Chain A
Amino acid sequence: GAVVSQHPSWVICKSGTSVKIECRSLDFQATTMFWYRQFPKQSLMLMATSNEGSKATYEQGVEKDKFLINHASLTLSTLTVTSAHPEDSSFYICSARDGGGWDASYEQYFGPGTRLTVT
């Protein structure tokens, strides 16, 4: 089956530093990847939609200059949290679709998540 990996699985960083999280589709090409944020015991909130070779589309309220997303290839998207602060501590999850276009029946495959702790 389709597998999505994330690296690192967890990271601790100091306030003011930047952290990069990678999301890879291992056995399929993902024209679209999604980044979610999940607070403890809460649901997933979509942060942005990333299409290969184009700029990401951010959800309302998400700071695009703080959460930099790059989708340079069909198998890799990265999320960089710039100048991280303790309030950015969260569980970040990516997903990838194995199809293009607007057909919503294409399944999204989720990565295992990255737990970010900012001290």
Chain B
Amino acid sequence: AQSVTQLGSHVSVSEGALVLLRCNYSSSVPPYLFWYVQYPNQGLQLLLKYTTGATLVKGINGFEAEFKKSETSFHLTKPSAHMSDAAEYFCAVIFSGGYNKLIFGAGTRLAVHP
């Protein structure tokens, strides 16, 4: 079955440290891939997306993600965490034949410590 998995419901890093949030999908056909950020009691904001083309995608706020077909992964990274990065992060996928429906992972809560 097609699914999207985020490894780690909570990730904690120190300010200035590398941020790595993991996302894997299960599908024989590469889907469209998205990362969203949600701040408390707010809607979602798109960080970046991969549809076609270059597999390393750069997004807003210094985030980037790399689509690795062989690993069915789309991990989100940021070289240096900032306190303002503390939020909930969702990986989302539109599977081929999925009628453009976004399927969300369970989410990862990122905490950034001074």
Contacts and interface: CB of A to CB of B under 8 A. Distances in A.
Interface string A81-101: 000000000010101010000
Contacts of A34: 101-102
B70 interface: no
21 contacts: A6-B43, A32-B100, A34-B101, A42-B106, A43-B106, A49-B99, A93-B43, A95-B102, A102-B99, A102-B100, A104-B98, A104-B100, A105-B32, A105-B49, A105-B51, A110-B36, A110-B43, A110-B44, A111-B43, A112-B43, A113-B42
Given A42-B106, A43-B105, A104 B32 contact: yes
Given A32-B100, A104-B94, A107-B49, A43 B107 contact: yes
B61 interface: no
Interface residues of B, number: 23
Contacts of B98: 104
B43 A113 contact: yes
Please classify the interface of chain A as helix (H, G, I), strand (E, B), loop, or mixed, using the class held by over half of its residues: strand
A45 to B, nearest CB: 8
Contact of B90 (A6, A43, A49, A95): A43
A4 interface: yes
Interface in A18-62: 32, 34, 42-46, 49
Contacts of A104: 32, 51, 94, 98, 100
A34 B99 CA distance: 12
Nearest to B50: A105
